[in-house]
Structure 1
């Protein structure tokens, strides 16, 4: 008997065969005749008047009747379950069940023959999957780590327009009076401390077409399925006199151009290393030896770059770079995010502290250390409320002696004035003195996007204000600055998956300068001004063409109307102030490969 038939017959044998030694003397011929003569197969156990749910074999008998229909009773409607079973009766019962098994087997054979091709295809696929799983298990480098990579190519150039300021040179006495005006050599190198050299000098130094790359390899490791150990290797060549790295004018820096050190040009470096783990259902803790404050938040209050592309560093930071300044170093942080139904808005609170890399890993408290007066640290706190369609956030950052990097992106005048927030300065006696400086920055950001792609774009807005305090201010330098940005993004433009983005606004610019007096003037001989004249507008336009799920090509252009800000106003002719003109136009093609 085949195994399948044995399995089907087993319930009958276990439930119905009694341990009775049936000899010829015990054979009840009349009983066998009655059983065999009934010929009535029952279809439900309820048809037996003497079988009850409390009987120990009730379930087994019910299965035989309802599944196989091979149990017969006696003519009077009884089953007589307590009666001893003869071998003839057992043979009659088994024969009836085997007939049903044969019917089932024949039906299965018919079905198998009908779907023979389909079953063969499925078997082949299963065998192939088993082989691939075995190969993956044999070649995987870790059972807990996943590798993600991103390669980005950038090719493009920038061009400055406006006045050729190289024909003038200025000198002033302590009272701010012009004492010398003369023509300069046309080969004057462009200086971002002012319009020295002007547009022509800028183009000579930074106007060449360039081809750069950025390579990232990220290792995501999880030990519990909910935690994450993140390590990232990075290489690139955005170094030297490269406008896309923010040289010449800091606002031309691209978001992708982060590998800036000449020592790491085309070299692989570790630029992220942190561990993130949940505490309960709503809290998450982050700690890392190389982590970034903007990557340690429960909510990113913008959708301008979501699913699209990141071009300028300023727009990638939502126009509020004074708060979201990408401070990277030794970090501890945590955030709480309200647990809600998927797709609903959630309240969140995020806090983190970052000691500037290069200071937080020192053990000398007079020059660095973690959580010391000289850590050059940033403390960032954010209160957010948002979901898939809309959200908003209010954030605050305290900057400790930011050394010119606290506000990250802005006019050259506002950036240069950040020296007011440096940790140290040299006094009149030549001694190095701590300034006790600090920065307080505030940001308000919001976003909204339609439920379905169409002509109505998503809208992301940001506004920020910053204030610096120092015991060593220089007359005419910025002490209060502001910034704002509006970003519009259209999804599925021309083709599904392609995005069009446009952003405009004013990167960090001065709205309040320190007062001037006759003893304070710029070391670069620029005339001191207590009145802010630092306006500059920036525009960005990109189209993200998604070639495949893993390849995107993004042509983009940007324009900076007055990136030198108040420093643009340093041309002097015949002792009269002159408002020079200086603007920058840039174009590029950014190609991104993800794997």
Structure 2
């Protein structure tokens, strides 16, 4: 009989009776991985002292469970509750009760009763949670950001302000491969009143709800799903949404900078017109295979307005095509965007912004961007860089260009902390009609340090300098300083 060996396995010296490893208890109690032959265990040898006893348990009663990787782990200690679960699994398969089995049952009578009560209680709680949970297919995540700081020589004011941005992301999957994303957002970065919400000093997280500050609104709502394999290999993925961003429909984002965003102009891959993050009704398709990707999409900011439509000349649409190649540590992409009049372009001088948003100006925007990052943290930083050149037709704007370089060091001073700096020029006019504008010397610099307090909380002090942000050569430079605190949940 195998019972003596089982008694040896179930000695109280293994662990105190009060300990309960629910995962291992359920493993034996449910007996989902019962084996039919002792040879199925890769870590058991005939020379092991309990080999014959375990062989008897397997062959005569079939009540020994292994681990998914084919091991038994006989040298691993177990608690008396786990031992009781093993005994209970064996008793369910035993038809003849011998004296030794009676002794085992008496020995663990107390643990078996407690175990049954606890398992019944857990099953009841699990059933109650499942019945009352929000959704079995939806995951909720959030990001709350506080910003305290100010900007000198800014038309919106020079006072120190306290602003916030809140994002709630609901990701739903119906098949395990698709994604329905809903983003609820609120903030109080009012561009007319706040230095961090307008112009080149705008922060990347500075959300402005159309209904006004402190109003919760739908920031994103789109559905993404696979279309299957292409005839030449690779996978197609489609996206359609009533409120989707251009960046949501790109298979590759060609930048590793920054881990914690500061100025919006330095997060647009050096080509802020091509990567304008236009937001509205739209649709797109991308193809990926062995690092290569091709993305094509269309977004119309006014596509929900029946007086302007989805495809009219006043729909404020952006049509984008991107070719990219990326691996774990590096990536490169070339992009082309056709920008209709009325699109709100970020990261540009006031002259260009006015020309595209308010005048009948259409723009062909080109960009090339890439990144490289070391395999391990150290003195060598990650490098991200990009360049954009644009040609416009109509009104006074003809050509413009832009570029950026971003460096980021990981694990600076402490593991998990990062330091970064970025420099570049926003989109500025290089040629105009009738001498409408002469823009030069427009620069943006930023330095920041991300202090990771916990996995969910980070504090990022940052400073930035904007040289000639008005683009007319007569405006004063701007200096900004802030402390950003982020909470992920």
Which category describes the TM-score, using the shorter chain as reference length? Answer: 0.7 to 0.9
Q: Does 1:463 align with 2:387?
A: yes
The question of 1:146 aligning with 2:91 is answered: no
- Counterpart of 1:265? 213
**TM-score, with length taken from structure 2:** 0.74
Q: Which residue of 2 aligns with 1:278?
A: 226
Superposition map of 1:83-102 within 5 A: none
Paired residue secondary structure (1:509): strand
Matched, 1:251 2:200: yes
* Partner of residue 359, structure 2: 422
Task: Give the 5 Å matches for 1:341-356.
Answer: 346-356=291-301
TM-score (norm 1): 0.61
Describe the shift of the 1:124–1:547 C-alpha distance in structure 2 as closer, same or farther (beyond 3 A): farther
The alignment yields a C-alpha RMSD, in angstroms, of 3.2
Separation in 1, partners of 2:468, 2:227: 48
Deviations 1:173-204 (A, max 9, x none): xxxxxxxxxxxxxxxxxxxxxxxxxxxxx47x
Unaligned runs of 5+ in 2: 4-54, 61-93, 230-234
Q: For the residues of structure 2 that align with 1:230 and 1:363, how far apart are their CA atoms?
A: 25
- Cα 1:122/1:285, change in 2 over 3 Å: farther
Q: Give the alignment of 1:109-508 within 5 angstroms.
A: 130=123, 133-160=126-153, 202=154, 205-239=156-190, 240-246=192-198, 250-261=199-210, 263-281=211-229, 282-305=235-258, 308-338=259-289, 340=290, 346-356=291-301, 359-364=302-307, 368-402=308-342, 405-406=344-345, 408-418=346-356, 422-423=359-360, 437-470=361-394, 473-474=395-396, 478-508=397-427
Q: CA deviation at 1:304?
A: 0.7
Q: How does 1:41-80 map to 2 (within 5 A)?
A: none
SS at match of 1:280: strand
The whole-number CA distance in structure 2 between the counterparts of 1:455 and 1:535 is 31
Stretches of structure 1 lacking an aligned partner (at least 5 in a row): 5-62, 69-97, 161-201, 341-345, 424-436, 517-527, 569-579
Find the residue that maps to 1:552 and give its secondary structure. Answer: strand
**Separation (CA, whole Å) in 1 of partners of 2:448 and 2:135:** 39
Residues of 2 paired with 1:258 and 1:513: CA distance? 32
Which fold has the larger relative contact order, with Cα–Cα distance below 8 Å and residues 6 or more apart in sequence?
Answer: 1
Separation in structure 1 between the aligned mates of residue 362 and residue 180 of structure 2, nearest angstrom: 33
Q: CA deviation at 1:363?
A: 2.6
SS of the residue corresponding to residue 369 of structure 1 reads: coil
**Taking structure 1 as reference, are residues 279 and 513 closer, same or farther at Cα in structure 2, changes over 3 Å only?**
same
Where 2:152 maps in the other structure, the secondary structure is: strand
Distance 1:142 1:371 in 2: 36
Asked if the contact 1:274–1:291 (Cα under 8 Å) also holds between the matched residues in 2, the reply is yes
Kindly state the Cα deviation for residue 386 of structure 1 after the two structures are TM-superposed: 0.1
Q: Contact 2:170–2:182 at 8 Å: present in 1 too?
A: yes
- Equivalent-residue separation in structure 2 for 1:122 and 1:440 (angstroms): 70
Could you report, residue by residue, the CA deviation over 1:380-439 in whole angstroms, capped at 9, with x for unpaired residues? 110010021111000000011135x23x212233334436x734xxxxxxxxxxxxx410
SS at match of 2:477: strand
- 2:469 — aligned with what? 563
Q: Contact 1:413 / 1:534 at 8 angstroms: preserved in 2?
A: no
Match of 1:585 among 474, 479, 486: 479
Give the whole-Å Cα distance in 2 for the aligned partners of 1:64 and 1:548.
Answer: 51
Whole-Å separation in 1 of the counterparts to 2:330 and 2:254? 9
The aligned residue for residue 12 of structure 2 is none
Q: Whole-Å Cα distance in 2 between the matches of residues 388 and 413 of structure 1?
A: 39
Q: Distance in 1 between matches of 2:161 and 2:331?
A: 39
Quote the Cα distance in structure 2 between the aligned partners of 1:143 and 1:513: 57
